[in-house]
Amino acid sequence: MVKTKYLIIGNSIAAVNAVEAIREIDRHGSLCLVSDEPYHTYSRPLISYYLGNKVEEEALLYRPDYFYDLNKVQAFLGDKVVSLNCREKQVVLEDKTYIQFEKLLLATGGSAIMPQMPGQNLAGVFTFTTLDDAQRVKKFIATHQVKKAVVIGGGLIGLKVTEALVALNIQVTIIELADRILSATFDRTASRIIERALKGIGCACLTNTTVKEIRQGEEDGRVGSVVLKDESQIECQMVIVAVGVRPRVDLAREAGISLGRGILVDEYLKTSVEDIYAAGDAVEAYDLIAKMPRPVAILPTAAKQGRIAGYNMAGGRKVYEGSIPMNSVELAGIPTISVGLTDPAMLADVDRRNSLEIIQDYRERESIYKKIVLEDNRIVGVILVNKIDRAGIYTGLIKDRVDVAYFREYLLKDDFGLLSLPREYRKHMVIGQGIEI
Amino acid sequence: MKRIVIHEEYCMGCRLCEIHCLVQHSKSKQIIKAYKGEFPKPLPRVLVEEQGYLSFALQCRHCEDAPCLEACMTGSLHRDAETGAVICHEDKCVGCWMCIMVCPLGVIARRREGKKAASKCDLCAGEKIPVCVQHCPNEAITFEER
């Protein structure tokens, strides 16, 4: 039986940030960390870079290799928690180790969704969220000289995989259920710019359709083609399924912790059970833009939640103010940033939809697009394509709910900066940390 | 920690801070080579904003609760344990621009030539006083314990 003050289940962004926050307050309290993956703290968004040979395996590390020693962490890597007993404050690992904790963090992350379809178990069908996934894909490509691949799902993960495959000289067809790629993060115009750029690097994008069956080729047990819902067939040697990620909540569910679509938490990131906290992609926290609790599976949110949960586990009392969905991603050489509510047309609430204002600047020839969504003179969403510099100023205005009525004509200018902001707010920003302007 | 303090009322918009910053962060540390002969072209990590008579020099505030540190997906952005400065390990950075998405001051730039990387103020690690402060003719930026 191992006894520990702090136990963290998970080893990715939320877990690492929780470790660091705990150690800012409590240098010495015993800290155990368990992960079913046998790896050091690697960065999941980098696996597409790894697949595309843009970074080496060693460069995937999110923290230096002395991270566990520096922070006095007893790490159980490659070992899985099989059960959690909230009343006894105890977990059991697969290798029968018992760990007794005082405070627990569930940072169990998300897992790839695999829709049921005939042929899904053929060799050459992969999801793409973990380093193991990336290594399997890499190995399969090398062994079988893949020339053509189908990527199911035109979201961020699907498109980053696509980019990596293109870098490996593989011809990719993207299959998207919605009427456009990136429908969750972009509006129609931005989607079209990226779709055009993907076609420019040789990819095909098929929208409004879905794969109904994966068929094996001549080689026994290996992918040979996919069949779409209109019965058309696309030849390929590999299929990547990237239709989404869902919170990994099995352990919490079996332990009787309250769940929504993810693990439910209060403003201190505590779950329904005393002394048990949750952070990261597994969590359903308040979404400031959607104005309701919702899992927002993005890296900055995982880091922030991890930090706050860590502080609070170590006796702090910090409030998690809520999530703002945001993404920065470069696709086919085009940098893009999207923050908050980017496409009012997607809103179900008609009254809210009608109350929103849009200002935009679209320079089609240069593929430059800037769009700002306003609600009661406050920015609630931004899309930037190709001109992304200083994007965070908008993010700050969204977060701080700043009334932009007096400077809105400057918002879309290419030289928009702090100078355009009201003097008082500008001062507040630079003074924020005890600095005067 | 020691921080750069901005006094916009004294800034004349001469942009000497930008020039000295660029040279300091070049390979040669010589102004003509830095401007004309280096690849990737070095970037200034301080930015002068100017409109009419109002101007000020702005660089990373090395925030206590730095959003860029939370958004960095590679771990290349980190806080220097000694100085408290927020530093980018440019070799490790892949140029995902998440930091640019969250920096409310807009003081992280994209280095696009050569290997992509985020480019930001490092308080001139190794110098006693950052060069922008050293060379400001009007004390519009000062280096003080705050």
Supply the ipTM of this predicted assembly.
0.97
- DSSP 3-state of A76: strand
Q: What end-to-end distance do the CA atoms of chain A give, in Å?
A: 56
- The most distant pair of C-alpha atoms in chain B lies apart, rounded to whole Å, by 41
Q: What's the whole-model pTM score? A: 0.96
In chain A, the domains with their CATH numbers are 2-43+62-110+246-313 (3.50.50.60), 114-243 (3.50.50.60), 333-431 (3.30.390.30)
How large is the average pLDDT for residues A63-89? 97
How many contacts, defined by CB atoms under 8 Å, are there between A and B?
127
What's the rounded Cα separation, in Å, for the pair A80 and A42? 17
Residue A241 has pLDDT above 90, yes or no: yes
What's the rounded Cα separation, in Å, for the pair A391 and A382? 9
Residue-level pLDDT at B37: 86
What's the rounded Cα separation, in Å, for the pair A98 and A162? 43
- DSSP 3-state of A253: helix
**Cβ–Cβ gap A46/B101 under 8 Å:** no
Q: Give the pair of three-digit tokens for residue A101.
A: 């904790």
Residue found by looking up tokens 């072209």 in the block: B41
How many Å lie between the alpha carbon of A389 and the closest alpha carbon of chain B? 7
CB-based contact B103:A392 (threshold 8 Å): yes
Eight-class DSSP state of A133: H
Residue-level pLDDT at B33: 95
Residue A367 CA neighbour count, 13 Å, CB half: 18
β-sheet with A292-294: strand ranges across: A263-264, A283-287, A292-294
Low-confidence ranges of chain B (pLDDT < 50): none
Residue-level pLDDT at A218: 85
Which is it for the CA torsion A239, A245, A251, A253, positive or negative? negative
**Cβ–Cβ gap A418/B61 under 8 Å:** no
What's the rounded Cα separation, in Å, for the pair A236 and A126? 13
Higher pLDDT, A430 or A384: A384
- DSSP 3-state of A93: strand
How many Å lie between the alpha carbon of A66 and the closest alpha carbon of chain B? 14
Supply the angle between the helices A299-313 and A13-25 in degrees, to the nearest 10: 30
Q: How many CB atoms lie within 10 A of CB A409?
A: 10
Residue-level pLDDT at A143: 96
How large is the average pLDDT for residues A40-57? 97
Among candidates B3, B56, B69 on the partner chain, residue whose Cβ is nearest the Cβ of A437: B56
Among candidates B58, B75, B102 on the partner chain, residue whose Cβ is nearest the Cβ of A418: B58
Same topology, domains B1-59+123-146 and B63-120? Answer is: yes
How many Å lie between the alpha carbon of B137 and the closest alpha carbon of chain A? 17
Among candidates A45, A54, A435 on the partner chain, residue whose Cβ is nearest the Cβ of B146: A435
* Degrees to nearest 5, angle at CA A42 with A38 and A46: 130
How many Å lie between the alpha carbon of B48 and the closest alpha carbon of chain A? 10
Residue-level pLDDT at B88: 97
With 0-12 / 13-18 / 19 or more C-beta atoms within 10 angstroms meaning exposed / middle / buried, residue A272 is middle
Domain coordinates of chain B in residue numbers?
1-59+123-146, 63-120
Q: Among B12, B24, B23, which Cα is nearest to B48's?
A: B12
Residue A430 has pLDDT above 80, yes or no: no
CB-based contact A97:A195 (threshold 8 Å): no
pLDDT tens per residue, range A120-162: 999 999 999 999 999 999 999 999 999 999 999 999 999 999 9
**Cβ–Cβ gap A417/B106 under 8 Å:** yes
Using the Cβ of B70 and the Cβ atoms of chain A, whether some distance falls under 8 Å is answered with yes
Percent of chain A beyond pLDDT 70? 98
Chain A residues in contact with B59 (beta carbon < 8 A): none
**Cβ–Cβ gap B70/A303 under 8 Å:** yes
Supply the angle between the helices A156-167 and A188-200 in degrees, to the nearest 10: 20
How large is the average pLDDT for residues A214-241? 94
What's the rounded Cα separation, in Å, for the pair A247 and A262? 5
**Cβ–Cβ gap A59/B74 under 8 Å:** yes
Provide the b/e sequence for A345-380 (b: ≥16 CB within 10 Å). eeeeeeeeeeebeeeeeeeeeebbbbbbbbbeeebb
Chain A residues in contact with B63 (beta carbon < 8 A): 432-433
Q: Give the pair of three-digit tokens for residue A381.
A: 């969403």
**Cβ–Cβ gap B101/A54 under 8 Å:** no
The CATH architecture assigned to B1-59+123-146 reads 2-Layer Sandwich (3.30)
How large is the average pLDDT for residues A267-276? 98
Peptide bond into B40 cis (omega under 30): yes
Residue-level pLDDT at A432: 52
Q: Which helix (H) or strand (E) holds B43?
A: none
What's the rounded Cα separation, in Å, for the pair A302 and A296? 9
**Cβ–Cβ gap A389/B109 under 8 Å:** yes
What's the rounded Cα separation, in Å, for the pair A361 and A384? 10
Using the Cβ of B74 and the Cβ atoms of chain A, whether some distance falls under 8 Å is answered with yes
How many Å lie between the alpha carbon of B33 and the closest alpha carbon of chain A? 26
User: Does the domain spanning B63-120 belong to CATH 3.40.50.2300?
Assistant: no
- DSSP 3-state of A50: helix
* Degrees to nearest 5, angle at CA A168 with A219 and A126: 50
How large is the average pLDDT for residues A72-94? 97
* Degrees to nearest 5, angle at CA A201 with A197 and A205: 65
Q: Among A281, A325, A287, A261, which Cα is nearest to A129's?
A: A281
Residue A196 has pLDDT above 80, yes or no: yes
**Cβ–Cβ gap B100/A399 under 8 Å:** no
Q: Which residues does A348 contact at the CB level (< 8 Å), separation at least 6?
A: none
